[in-house]
Amino acid sequence: MIIKFLGGVGEVGGNKILLECEGYRILLDFGMSFSEKRKFYSEPWLSPRAWEDLIGLGIVPEIEGAYRFQGGESEPLDAVLISHSHSDHSGCLSLLRRDVPVYCGETAKAILEALAEVRPKGLENDLEGLSLIAFRTGSRIRIGPFDVEPIHVDHSVPGSYGFLISAPGASLAYTGDYRLHGNKPEMTMDFVDGASGLGPNAMITEGTNILDGEVMGELDVRGKLRKIILESKGLVLADFSMADLDRLNTFLEVAEESGRMMAIPMKQAHLLRALRGDRGLKVPDPEADDRIAVYRRSKRSYYDWEEELLDRCRVIGAEDVKRFQDKLILACPFQDLREIIRIGPEPGSCYILSTSEPFNEEMELEREKLVNWLDHFGIPMYRVHCSGHAMPNEIRSVVAEVGPDRVYPIHTEHPSLLARFLSGICEAKAPELGRAEEL
Ligand SMILES: [Zn+2]
């Protein structure tokens, strides 16, 4: 088996790992590299128009038989396997050739499809014609000589998996993104146990938090939110990832305890409705859960999916929030900040930044604007979060438990640091972009 790292090398995200064996080629994750994209574009004002632009600028790598607009007679990739629905792992799917099958978890499929529906259509948001094949833990996927076993892991979005891959003469464990300090460490341990049973030749692990380790779990988040929200007199505004169900459930528990209702954006309500049938998840139902109201953004017309929500759910608007500030937590993503002009938060209100992914440069730029909004309205900000990614000691214990011959750190800005941290357990090798590694 040959491994080529085509993304996620020396950066957080943009994962793309090509495996080749006996003429078959499969890709582990097909993520967008935000750091590369940011070098050239500033969305929405300056955004890529064609896939050639993305290739030409080196934002996405040349991969034979991968792209839908590619001409020529190239053979298609044999499969793409998606570990989870975050864009840094799935963001290039829109560009994929339609005759390449895509495998992802059932929940990830529901999330990808629901988000594609609520986001503006375009070059990077078009899943039309793709065949998404759903798997669960226990599924076995056979692609030519590759035998793939997906096993769930705990991450800040449901439907996250790692992969155990066997091919003649070689085996590999790929973690995807994972953690042990979240609500469901046993899920990650299922993957670790499976990987340890495989005794792989190589392991690919993420290493996001190698410089920003903070030991904090979802229960700590709950405790901190509880203290802040119980002490707050006015409106509580909160920003957290729409697809992070653990965080939403934490907010809902604290909302109930503090006698407040949670108002969520329409997009999030749409996503929750799409996930309602998922047996393995604790999904609050925006139509029936009396802790939830759907916040209607002030605008002239609504899409069909929005109209449907507005018909079925308890709906509140800016005027209601203005009147009942001390009775509400308003989930307020960055792009909804304009709503607070109409709401006019009273003195004593606060803003809680509870996004679980690390800050990047783009978010730093946004942070400046966020601070201007908060300054204008006199709203202090708290930062409460627990990462979706493993901490350094967690990574070391996982690698030791799995016991591969060799480990490759990816999804980190400091692969050499992590390789040195892991040395002694097994051979640890910082990958190089595009170089072929033989197993
Ligand atoms: Zn990631």
Report how far ligand 1's centroid is from the alpha carbon of 358 (Å): 10
Q: Could you name the CATH architecture of 218-383? A: 3-Layer(aba) Sandwich (3.40)
Report how far ligand 1's centroid is from the alpha carbon of 388 (Å): 9
Report how far ligand 1's centroid is from the alpha carbon of 356 (Å): 11
Strand partners for 438? 2
Report how far ligand 1's centroid is from the alpha carbon of 168 (Å): 29
- pLDDT tens digits, 199-253: 999 999 999 999 988 889 999 999 999 999 999 999 999 999 999 999 999 999 9
Report how far ligand 1's centroid is from the alpha carbon of 13 (Å): 5
pLDDT, averaged per 10 consecutive residues of the chain (439 residues), comes to 97 94 98 90 86 90 92 90 96 96 98 94 93 97 98 97 97 98 97 98 96 90 98 96 95 98 97 92 95 93 94 96 97 92 96 74 74 96 94 97 98 96 96 95
Report how far ligand 1's centroid is from the alpha carbon of 273 (Å): 25
Report how far ligand 1's centroid is from the alpha carbon of 333 (Å): 20
Q: Which CATH number fits domain 2-212+388-438: 3.40.1160.10, 1.10.287.1770, 2.60.40.3500, 3.60.15.10?
A: 3.60.15.10
Report how far ligand 1's centroid is from the alpha carbon of 201 (Å): 23
Q: What residue ranges in 253-309 does DSSP mark as E strands? A: 261-265, 292-295
pLDDT at 361: 54
Ion ligand 1 neighbours, Cβ < 5 Å: 13, 88, 177
pLDDT at 70: 82
- Using an 8 Å Cβ cutoff, are 163 and 173 in contact? yes
DSSP-derived secondary structure letter, 125: B
Report how far ligand 1's centroid is from the alpha carbon of 31 (Å): 8
CA distance 79 to 129: 15
- How many Cβ atoms from other residues are within 10 Å of residue 278's Cβ? 16
pLDDT at 305: 94
Q: What's the pTM?
A: 0.95
CA distance 335 to 273: 22
Report how far ligand 1's centroid is from the alpha carbon of 210 (Å): 14
Per-residue b or e along 98-120, where b marks 16 or more CB atoms closer than 10 Å to that residue's CB: eebbbbbbbbbbbbbebbbbbee
CA distance 350 to 343: 13
- Please report, as a single letter, which amino acid is at residue 366: E
pLDDT at 368: 87
CA distance 312 to 315: 9
- Please report, as a single letter, which amino acid is at residue 219: L
Torsion of CA 103, 106, 112, 114, to 10 degrees: 150
Task: Tell me phi and psi for residue 260, to 5 degrees.
Answer: -115, 160
Report how far ligand 1's centroid is from the alpha carbon of 411 (Å): 7
Report how far ligand 1's centroid is from the alpha carbon of 89 (Å): 6
Report how far ligand 1's centroid is from the alpha carbon of 112 (Å): 15
pLDDT at 76: 96
Report how far ligand 1's centroid is from the alpha carbon of 341 (Å): 34
